[in-house]
Amino acid sequence: MCGILAVLGCSDDCQAKRVRVLELSRRLKHRGPDWSGLYQHGDCYLSHQRLAIVDPASGDQPLFNEDGRIVVTVNGEIYNHEELRNNLPNHKFRTGSDCEVIAHLYEEHGENFVDMLDGMFSFVLLDTRDNSFVAARDAIGITSLYIGWGLDGSVWISSELKGLNDECEHFEVFPPGHLYSSKMGCLRRWYNPPWFSEAIPSTPYEPLDLRRAFEKAVIKRLMTDVPFGVLLSGGLDSSLVAAVTARHLAGTKAAKHWGVQLHSFCVGLEGSPDLKAAKEVADYLGTVHHEFHFTVQDGIDAIEDVIYHIETYDVTTIRASTPMFLMSRKIKSLGVKMVLSGEGADEIFGGYLYFHKAPNKDEFHRETCRKIKALHQYDCLRANKATSAWGLEARVPFLDKEFVNVAMSFDPDWKMIKPEENRIEKWILRKAFDDEERPYLPKHILYRQKEQFSDGVGYSWIDGLKAHAEDHVNDKMMLNAAHIFPHNTPTTKEAYYYRMIFDRFFPQNSASLTVPGGASVACSTATAVAWDESWSKNLDPSGRAALGVHNSPYEKRAAVVANGKLATKVTEPVARVMGTAAPGLTIRG
């Protein structure tokens, strides 16, 4: 991931302003440590901190069209850039960068080109012919982006809050699937697929259609000129990403550079569920597996850095971001610059445990739509910023635009969890990859139950965070919480602790407003309570507390579907593989 910062229409174009823009851009250097660039045209500045993944030699930004009058700074990857180049025969390209195509598409089509892009992206484009500009963010919000306004009438756009929070009178999240045009002076939605209206689809489920769409999504994300790997927790989603990558790697350009043996990475406390499960999957797929250990204290020591980088006080996001933050640093130390990850599947297929209580397919579908629309504030934010903190890029094939459209077009009745029909969560996805002749994964892995990420790295991780917060937030502080934090008032000591740290880094009211509802929204408590009132007693967003599902027989068995019948294989209770403190942060390759 790169870092972009644009200051557009400021009242001061003196040298001091250029120095200030450079200073603010350097706050984003962790996102792009490979090179930096700054372009100025009158009262407009476009800066870029580059993480070089495609065309490292000549793809430095900002990028230009042929005559240099259209300038663009981009964070992201355009997977169909070669196809788009071929459709622009009258244009001359200066670099091999996938992002250069944006300048030429604008020159050819004006502002209505964004939907042609297949990828994850945030960009700002300046047309110096009339000093107009356009900014846009990808469909789901995989890349992070914020927009702010200065008292002098300037517009600020940045990959992270820290690039603009000291300069803007007001700032907010730049919404996914939107475009900002200076000619119109407002935001407008460019991404509006059929599922976005939350109308109930009726397309019959076709397993092979789903499988092919996902394989295509993975393969296009193997576009890289640098070493890469996969994040592997051992759960269904990351295991499928790894399985498809391993199967198709041999025929890609990446394999010619880095070999056909895939590298996989996992993080957890010593003895955690994820470490055990990931090792099993890695052995089956034959990956070069790297296992990272951390202690509860390692994680606690990193909390302030994590909140500074991920720019949220949401409880579940911070819990899950911390192990990912620590793992990303170790991955980068190995020389790897890009990883594939499994975010998005739970939102698309209703994989969270409270979906067991969905009363009907209409409610189920609408909740998946709401979850996808909120991804940019939770899992996408975590995956993007926890990795970008160390100059590592995360690509998420489950959120491929075409794959999402395919998956969300099926009749949601096929996604419903129906134990009486041997259909557990995400059955529709599991069935698509249940290949008897050439298995992608062993049956017991393919039908393994959902584990929340922050739980899977080791249950004592969450318990340790709660204990640490208990030591730093007293009962008197909690009594006054509503006066100190009137917006998204923290209801637990852990939430209060994170909020104190966040407000120290980002004290502006606009900053607190970028976090939508704290932990309660992240775990969809309102919906879960509507489906089952027992959720009203649960203030903790951890998946292990969900609806008693983790206290059910699911906890003690892995489902194996064979010949259309449900069999069981008794495994250790989860309690026996709860994480324990490790000697330190170590690596095993």
Residues 6 or more apart whose Cβ sits within 8 Å of residue 85: 91, 93, 101, 104
Q: What is the rounded CA–CA span in Å between residue 565 and residue 557?
A: 15
Pairing relationship of beta strands 146-149 and 186-189 according to DSSP bridges: unpaired
Tokens of 431: 């069935």
Alpha carbons within 13 angstroms on the beta-carbon side of residue 337 total 20
* Residue 291: φ, ψ to 5°: -110, 120
Alpha carbons within 13 angstroms on the beta-carbon side of residue 507 total 2
Task: Give the containing element (helix H, strand E) for 126.
Answer: strand 119-127
The per-residue b/e assignment along 55-70, b for 16 or more CB within 10 angstroms, e otherwise, is ebeebbbbbbbeeeeb
411 annotated ligand binder: no
Instruction: Give the closest residue to 561 by CA, choosing from 421, 453, 459, 460.
Output: 421
**DSSP reduced 3-state for 91:** coil
Tokens of 110: 């004006």
Q: What is the rounded CA–CA span in Å between residue 320 and residue 310?
A: 11
**DSSP reduced 3-state for 378:** coil
Tokens of 330: 């170790």
Q: At what angle do helices 459-472 and 296-310 cross, to 10 degrees?
A: 70
Pairing relationship of beta strands 186-189 and 178-181 according to DSSP bridges: antiparallel
Alpha carbons within 13 angstroms on the beta-carbon side of residue 204 total 2
Tokens of 408: 């969300």
Q: At what angle do helices 207-220 and 236-248 cross, to 10 degrees?
A: 70
186 counts as catalytic: no
Length of the chain: 589
342 annotated ligand binder: yes
The 8-class DSSP code of residue 250 comes to G
Q: What is the rounded CA–CA span in Å between residue 82 and residue 521?
A: 40
479 annotated ligand binder: no
Q: What is the rounded CA–CA span in Å between residue 99 and residue 77?
A: 7
The catalytic position among 2, 10, 168, 523 is 2
540 annotated ligand binder: no
Q: What is the rounded CA–CA span in Å between residue 525 and residue 544?
A: 14
Alpha carbons within 13 angstroms on the beta-carbon side of residue 302 total 25
Alpha carbons within 13 angstroms on the beta-carbon side of residue 458 total 26
Instruction: Give the closest residue to 233 by CA, choosing from 277, 288, 290, 263.
Output: 277
Q: What is the rounded CA–CA span in Å between residue 137 and residue 114?
A: 9
Task: Give the containing element (helix H, strand E) for 211.
Answer: helix 207-220
454 annotated ligand binder: no
- Using CB atoms within 10 A of its CB, is residue 13 exposed (0-12), middle (13-18) or buried (19+)? middle
The 8-class DSSP code of residue 428 comes to H
Q: What is the largest CA-CA distance in the chain?
A: 73
Which positions make up the binding site? Answer: 98, 231, 267, 341-342
Which positions make up the binding site for L-glutamine? Answer: 98
Which positions make up the binding site for ATP? Answer: 231, 267, 341-342
Q: What is the set of active-site residues?
A: 2
